[in-house]
Chains A and B, each alone.
Chain A
Amino acid sequence: MFRRLPEIETAAEAVAFTIDGRPANARAGDSVAAALLANGITACRNTPVSGAARGPYCMMGVCFDCLVTIDGTGNRQGCQVRVAPGMAVETQNGKREVER
């Protein structure tokens, strides 16, 4: 679980987006992975191999454990994409589906 430093909470310009269809807020400049953690979500996908839950581990584009579906496109690295107003982020279940 993560929280925002108090000095930032007050200064934050909120970016409204959705996580699995539910409304959420982030700060401009947050990566999608950071925005999920800031909203109390530590697991963002289940692995295609065993179905185990995974969440962001490296935050620098190395581990691919932050994979999510962003605006309908699967397998995006949440730590490498900035959250944008109106973005639809979905947690990812197993493999990327063929058509997205």
Chain B
Amino acid sequence: MSAPKFDFDIAVVGSGPAGLAAAALAASKGASVVLLDEQAEPGGQIYRAVTETPVRDRKVLGPDYWHGAELLGPLRDSGAAHWPGATVWSVARPREDGPDGERSIQIGLSRNGAAAMLIVRHVILATGALERPFPIPGWTLPGVLGAGAAQVLLKTSGLVPSGATVMAGSGPLLWLLAWQYLQAGARIDAILDTTPKQNWRAALPLLPGFLRSPYLAKGMKLMLEVRRKLTVIGNVTALRADGDGALKSVTYTRNGTEHRLPADTLLLHHGVVPNLNLANATGCAQRWDEQQRCWRPTTDAWGATSVEGVSLAGDGAGIGGARAAEEAGRLAALDALHRLGRIGREQRDQLAAPHRAALDRALTGRAFLDTLYTPAEAFRAPADDTIVCRCEEITAGAVREAVRLGCSGPNQAKSFLRCGMGPCQGRLCGPTVTEVIAAERGVSPAEVGYYRLRPPVKPITLAELAALPKTDADIDAVFKH
């Protein structure tokens, strides 16, 4: 066996639809490409475990899921190196220190408990999405999980809830999971729909766009089936999980009245937001997106960020769904090939045309969904007794108190409260902390800002770091920015 290669033209981080499509296309045009993902198998969130799921009955996960398998052949044929189980914890700003001033970007990663450094000339971040935090009193109790988490358990292990099960929240993924559970014969006692009634007024003008969406028919069919077969309780305005050391019941408010349901499992979902930690720590500029109510890295039409040599594709650049992610991955790959001098501008544009058209099609109607499924403010900036930072157990009340003492944004909240200082590095509290501070100060989230993150974006052990061969550049990549 030859020694492993640590030098590539392009590194793609994330093997969801965006990363799989990007790596396959770039490598098929002759670039040397490495595809990195911390998961043990390719697929990302939507196609999680598509190569080895134990759920053989194809109707349970549905046809959209199995589309993921079609992305794997092209990747294999492309000759791209594929490293699963590789967590990327740093992407250093590019240097022009290669032969003839060639650009080099250093990537820090951990694989099999050992750290390594890669040198590449271009990076495509395809780090995807994570579930928007859904902070309610009691959401830290064992037995309360994200709906996406439950879906991961279904896809990778064929596990479904047993005992009393309540789903709560809003958004397409909640309906999809309910539908998948129906196909699987799993028990669901009730779905508590938190979609605010008044969202309809804001969303209606956007309906014509949605009527042209390729997802409309599919989505409606799925939702009607769920509504016909399950108890769906609408207009839920407040939620609480109760129990002592484990979930026992869920209390919800509807039309001003509280009701209680026994529950062994509560699955929460309020849509997804970009997983932007790596882009943020790499120094990519980001902006507040009012429609999706989240921070997203600033990108151009090709996914290029404010950092030369670093581009973004898929949900990590703004939520667009799996098909959009796939096409955005191809566009980013074509642009990277162009920037590396592998293809000319004209060839890039020509090759991109069908993918751009497909991307536009996939994004049709998105604005309607974003507007309809914006969680109510009471869930984005919860009541005082609700934990917002799960790592450090900081409540919304403590954040508000800090604002009254002069804390103006998330970075100050870190020093006031240690909020966002835990191992998740603000991934789970960032959006909530921004919203709580903005509401308390009476300003927009854009003004409040977001955590300024630094590598390593995932905790790595000292042993892993110590095992690295260290040049000055290596040390810089981790500690300076």
> Which residues does A use to contact B, with CB under 8 Å?
1-5, 7-8, 11-12, 27, 29-31, 34, 37-38, 42-44, 47, 49-50, 52-65, 75, 79-80, 82
Contacts and interface: CB of A to CB of B under 8 A. Distances in A.
B387 to A, nearest CB: 9
B152 A1 contact: no
Interface of B: 38, 40, 45, 49, 52, 54-57, 60, 130-131, 140-146, 148-150, 152-153, 156-163, 184-185, 245-247, 264-265, 275, 390-393, 422-424, 427-428, 458-459
Contacts of A55: 142-143, 145
B38 A29 contact: no
B152 A60 contact: yes
Contacts of B146: 57-59
Given A53-B245, A64-B391, A80-B38, A27 B424 contact: no
A86 to B, nearest CB: 18
Contacts of A31: 156-157
A6 to B, nearest CB: 8
Q: DSSP majority for the B interface?
A: loop
Given A11-B54, A30-B156, A42-B143, A58 B162 contact: no
A94 to B, nearest CB: 13
A5 B393 contact: no
Contacts of B459: 75
B427 A82 contact: no
Contacts of B148: 58-60
Contacts of A5: 54-55, 60, 158-160, 184-185
B153 A64 contact: no
Contacts of A34: 153, 156-157, 159
Nearest to B155: A59
A64 B149 contact: no
Given A7-B56, A42-B142, A27 B163 contact: no
A2 B164 CA distance: 11
A16 to B, nearest CB: 17
Contact of A2 (B60, B144, B161): B161
Among A53, A60, A80, residue most surrounded by chain B Cβ atoms (within 10 Å): A60
A80 B141 CA distance: 21
A43 B156 contact: no
Nearest to B146: A58
Among B40, B158, B275, B390, residue most surrounded by chain A Cβ atoms (within 10 Å): B158
Contacts of A64: 391, 422-424
20 contacts: A1-B161, A4-B159, A5-B54, A5-B160, A8-B158, A29-B156, A30-B157, A31-B157, A37-B159, A42-B143, A49-B392, A53-B245, A56-B149, A58-B131, A59-B150, A59-B152, A60-B152, A62-B427, A63-B427, A82-B40
A53 B424 CA distance: 18
Given A2-B161, A5-B160, A30-B157, 17 more contacts: A1-B162, A3-B162, A8-B54, A38-B157, A42-B246, A43-B245, A49-B392, A53-B246, A55-B143, A58-B148, A60-B152, A61-B38, A62-B130, A62-B275, A64-B423, A80-B38, A82-B40
Given A5-B55, A65-B390, A29 B162 contact: no
B55 A58 contact: no
A27 B152 contact: no
Contacts of A1: 143, 161-163, 264-265
B46 to A, nearest CB: 12
Given A56-B145, A63-B428, A82-B40, A4 B130 contact: no
A37 B267 CA distance: 14
Among A5, A44, A53, residue most surrounded by chain B Cβ atoms (within 10 Å): A5
B393 A43 contact: no
The 10 closest A-B pairs by CB, nearest first: A55-B142, A59-B149, A8-B158, A42-B142, A43-B142, A3-B162, A59-B152, A2-B159, A64-B423, A34-B157
Nearest to A26: B157
A49 B391 CA distance: 9
A75 B464 CA distance: 14
A58 B428 contact: yes
Nearest to B60: A5
A56 B357 CA distance: 40
A27 B246 contact: no
Contacts of B245: 43, 53
Contacts of A60: 45, 130, 148-149, 152
Contacts of A57: 140, 144-146, 149, 390
B141 to A, nearest CB: 8
Contacts of A27: 54, 157-158
Nearest to B131: A58
A98 B169 CA distance: 40
Contacts of B57: 7
Among B184, B391, B392, residue most surrounded by chain A Cβ atoms (within 10 Å): B391
Contacts of A79: 152
B189 to A, nearest CB: 13
Contacts of B265: 1-2
Contacts of B143: 1, 42, 55
A4 B142 contact: no
Contacts of B156: 29-31, 34
Contacts of B131: 58
A73 to B, nearest CB: 9
